[in-house]
Structure 1
Amino acid sequence: MTTTVLAAAQQNPLIPAVYDIVWSAVCLAIIGFVFWKKVLPTFQKVLADRTEKIEGGIAKAEQAQAQAQQALAEYQAQLADARAEAARIRDDARAEAEKIKEELYAKAQAEAARIIAQGNNQLAAQRAQIVAELRGDLGRMAVDLAGRVVGESLEDEARRRGTVDRFLDELDAVSAPAGK
């Protein structure tokens, strides 16, 4: 056999000897068995752990994204509610301002009417006072003039008063149609 191996070795330098092939196969089988029993399960465990971590991280990321979406939806709902509340408050304030404006206008109108009425009452009182004073002055002047024209004294109070009143009534009667 050695002769055939030697002959074969002499023929092709790339083909190893049979004993090298057998021992290489035995070593390869032992290394393969150890790899299969010890190294391969460790690799599979490490790969399974990494896969689990990655899938867990993806699940956590999806859960965080779902929570963020929910928080965003709640925020947008609260923002919409706040905007609606602000619009309602603004409308209420405008209505209240309009109501206050109308109340102030009504109060101003009432105050103006009261001031006008008070002024008219004062004017009427002053007019009555002036008319009474003018009647008195006019009466005295009329009595003096009448006394001078008639030539007698009209000192008697009752007679003088009656004459003055009659004279003033005639003046009122004459001036009333002209004033209308």
Structure 2
Amino acid sequence: MNIELGPLKPEPAMLALGLALYFLMLWTLGRGAFPRIERLRAERRDATEGRAERAEAVRAEAEAVQDAGRRELAAARHEAARIRQEYAERGAAAIARARAEGARERDELLAAMRALIAAERAEAAARLRRDVGKLAVTLAGRVVGEPVHSVAADRRTVDRFLSEH
């Protein structure tokens, strides 16, 4: 075999040995070093890109939890507003009932007091008429100089006068 390689002119035995060693080295690298290199590259990719992916997953989960919290908070606010409204309505109804009850009691008390005042006024007027009549008869007796009780009682003069006025 005569291969023209120019100025190099390798010996065929050395060429065969070189090729054999070259393939042996490739096989050794393929069995030992390349898998380790690939594993390190995968770990490095996992460390960089994997963390970013995990961080993105954690962020998405955090956003989902935050959205759920916001929904719960909105529902709680709505419920609180509903409860406030309900108790405001209850309070307004209680105030209206208390006002109506107070007005009813006030009207009853005013009616009772008006009746009492009217009765006392009538009693006071009757007592006053009796006393005015007695005083008038006593005064008339002092002016005339003799008792006029019997004359006033017979003629009912004082009662007629008071009934006319």
Gaps (5+ residues) in structure 1? Answer: 9-14, 176-180
1:142 Cα deviation from its structure 2 partner:
4.5
Match of 2:21 in 1: 27
RMSD (Å), alpha carbons: 3.9
Match of 1:69 in 2: 63
The separation in 2 between residues aligned to 1:41 and 1:142, in whole angstroms, is 143
Gaps (5+ residues) in structure 2? Answer: none
The answer to whether residue 86 in structure 2 is matched with residue 92 in structure 1 is yes
1:56 Cα deviation from its structure 2 partner:
6.3
Q: Deviations over 1:7-49 (max 9, x none)?
A: x7xxxxxx54514962544432322222223322333344455
How many residues align? The count is: 158
Match of 1:171 in 2: 162
Structure 1 residues 32-111: aligned runs within 5 Å: 32-48=26-42, 60-61=54-55, 63-111=57-105
Tell me if the contact between 2:137 and 2:149 (Cα under 8 Å) persists in the aligned partners. Answer: yes
The separation in 1 between residues aligned to 2:23 and 2:8, in whole angstroms, is 18
Match of 2:10 in 1: 18
More deviation, 58-67/31-40: 58-67
Q: Deviations over 1:38-69 (max 9, x none)?
A: 32233334445556777865664455344323
Within the candidate set 124, 128, 147, 1:130 is matched to 124
More deviation, 87-96/121-130: 121-130
State percent identity of aligned pairs. Answer: 22
TM-score (norm 1): 0.61
The separation in 2 between residues aligned to 1:62 and 1:82, in whole angstroms, is 30
Taking a change above 3 Å as real, the CA distance of residues 113 and 169 of structure 1, as seen in their structure-2 partners, is: farther
1:79 Cα deviation from its structure 2 partner:
0.8
The residue identity in structure 1 corresponding to 2:10 is: V
More deviation, 75-84/16-25: 16-25
